[in-house]
Amino acid sequence: MKLEEYLKNPDKEKLIDNIFSEIKKIQKDYEPFITISEKESREELKKKIKDREFLGIPISVKDNICTKGIKTTAGSKILENYVPPFDATAISKIKEVGYIIGKTKMDEFGFGTFCLNCAYGIPKNPRGVERSSGGSSGGSACLTSALNFPHISIAESTGGSISCPANFCGIVGLTPTYGLVSRYGLIDFASSLDKIGLMGKTIFEVAYGLTKIAGFDKKDSTSINKKPEDYTDHLKKDVSKFRVGVPKEYFNRVDEEVKKEVWRAIKKLEEKGVKYEEISLPSTKFALPTYYIISMSEASTNLARYCGIRYGETKELKGNYNEFFSGVRGEYFGEEAKRRILMGTFYRKAGYRDRYYLKALRVRRHIINEFKEMFKKFDCILSPTMPIIAPKFTDIALLSPAQQYAADFLTVAPNLCGFPHLSTPCGRAKGMPVGLHIIGDHLQEGKVLQLGSWI
């Protein structure tokens, strides 16, 4: 059943038994969850079941978004026992129409491309269990791909953490404009880059979910005060007058079979009347290093709070401050978290801050301006979502950390600039899903969804 059909005639009580029966089977086969919240879900439904306005939509949540009374770990041992006393703003809003079925696996604090850095195990791709679900929102994509019920997954992206797993698992992933959805209650990775977004099996699911969670929040200083919009209104509108840009740089280092499927989708749009033009975004080559310098610098700052004194797990208070601090962080942070903290600290050091961090901020502004010039001429920009299909775990094991970072080169630029972007399935290569990336100008989610609905 599609969400559109379910919304017309929801049988909430019958669904919850069936959905948790399937969830337990999915968890056994693919392991997408850190926490399954069956008890909390049933209590929530019991309170709201008589409310005709409550639609009872099953909602999964990436584990770095706070959920009242449900453990929230950010995929890290340092937050293993954290149970938030409040809901993130996005969760408060989505709970008006749905209930939380569980918290999904993720790379620790969002640090990863293949969801191998979670302290609570690795989710398997339902399209091939020997392959990665993608990261860092790998659990959300894994569950969404496997679940046969109407469902919305609330996820988060810093540099491609929605688009990448959506691509690998053959589902739809929407990353909104930075600030459109409140970040209040989100456990930070990089404050100027983090965005709460959505995953679903269909464009309708993510458009409907965005309609519910978007909006101004005075508790978030980066929140945009924008008039509410029903994003489902854009679906199936005519796209024949659209003009799209296809950057040639976004097809470098991309597998030939992936290129073929993406171009097939672009030609399909052309048949609908969409005009496309090959363009150049020369600053693309700077996006990857710029993203990693900024994100690691901000992560180093944000994760300093987890020192065993005020936040996170702790140990016996002994030795001097540095010994205690290092002991806690050394034991409870994973290898990738330590690597990014150290690199981010280096980029912010006296003598290096101007050379790396401040220069990266200037380059980000240059990349934004380059995109903005293109959006004066084009409604959207199209590219492959990822340069490869979901890789096998055995192949990922052969890659160095730097090679793993390089896999993000197509997704980091729109994230760096805060542009809305959508990954939607557009074909298959070697039996695995291929995603088309649709990038729009700030606050142009409607256009992105409109174009995506035609693929």
* Residues designated catalytic: 62, 136, 161
Residue 217: other Cβ atoms inside 10 A: 21
Both tokens of 2, joined, read 């599609």
CA 408/CA 163 separation, integer angstroms: 10
CA 95/CA 212 separation, integer angstroms: 9
Instruction: Determine the distance from the C-alpha atom of residue 176 to the mean position of all C-alpha atoms in its chain, rounded to a whole number.
Output: 10
β-pairing verdict for 172-175 and 195-200: antiparallel
Cα angle 71-65-111, degrees, rounded to a multiple of 5: 100
Both tokens of 191, joined, read 């404050």
- 309's CB contacts (< 8 A; 6+ apart) are none
CA 424/CA 171 separation, integer angstroms: 6
**Within the chain, what is the greatest distance between any pair of CA atoms?**
70
8 A C-beta contact, residue 76 and residue 108? yes
In 161-255, which ranges are continuous DSSP H helix?
A: 163-169, 203-213
CA 421/CA 384 separation, integer angstroms: 12
DSSP bridge partners of 58: 99
8 A C-beta contact, residue 26 and residue 146? yes
CA 70/CA 40 separation, integer angstroms: 8
CA 416/CA 159 separation, integer angstroms: 7
Residues in the chain, overall count: 455
Helix, strand or coil, per DSSP, at residue 276:
strand
Residue with tokens 């930070």: 188
8 A C-beta contact, residue 295 and residue 158? yes
Residue 128: other Cβ atoms inside 10 A: 17
CA 428/CA 419 separation, integer angstroms: 26
8 A C-beta contact, residue 165 and residue 138? yes
Instruction: Name the strands in the sheet holding 195-200, side by side, starting at the edge strand that comes first in the sequence.
Output: 33-36, 98-104, 57-62, 152-157, 195-200, 172-175, 421-429, 432-440, 380-384, 243-247, 275-279
